[in-house]
Amino acid sequence: MQVSGAQGPSVTSYAYKASLIGSAHRFELTDAGLSWHIAGRSGLWRYDEISAIRLSFRPVSMQQHRFRADVSHSSGGRIRILSTSWQTAALMAPQDNGFRDFIIELHARMAQAGSRAELTAGLGRKTYAAVLAFLAVLTVAMTGLLIRALVIGEFAGALFIIGFAALFAWQVGGFVRRNQPHSYSFDRVPKALLP
């Protein structure tokens, strides 16, 4: 992230590589609005034309600490901003400070412009309900397997099930907790969805 000097116009920038091939996705917060450059396309969205922002926690196998902001325009366009950048075929690097500062500044500029954008956090309500239903079914199945292992005296199997359940709860618990759907305001950007 870069901020220009006090004499020139105020510009905050952020960039990340969404894939190994192709150019970086570049974003700038200028006095005129959000300027973006993605895969040969570019645009400038005034802050009062941004209709929605959704913040979420989106870990992937190569980067367990990844955040995402989906920014929607009143005309129907949408851009995605990620907190990680591809470095090599085996390395996806976090850009925590730059992402956090950029998102907070975007919210501040939108508030200053009098934006009436819908600000939501986490997954969509239907998606979140589906995740909870899947976890409930999985919990019932694992409990059944644990009881069966204890009844037939397979204590090694029971320990394996307990260990697997603990690891799964640790891995998935943070995702479920952080992505609980809710609305927020410009002055209360959810810290759980920022690195």
> What tens-digit pLDDT sequence spans the chain (195 residues)?
444 444 445 778 999 988 777 778 999 999 999 999 998 899 999 999 999 999 999 887 666 778 999 999 999 999 999 998 887 666 677 788 899 999 999 999 999 999 999 999 999 899 999 999 999 999 999 999 999 999 998 899 899 999 988 988 888 888 888 899 999 999 999 999 998
> Quick one: DSSP state of residue 131?
H
CB-based burial label for 13 (10 Å; 0-12, 13-18, 19+): middle
Tokens of residue 82, six digits: 């990620």
Q: CA angle at residue 35 from 31 to 37, to 5 degrees?
A: 160
Question: Using CA atoms, how far apart are residues 186 and 147, in angstroms rounded to an integer?
Answer: 49
Structure tokens at 51: 């209709």
Contact 110/46 with Cβ under 8 angstroms?
Answer: no
Alpha-carbon distance 128 to 181, whole Å? 7
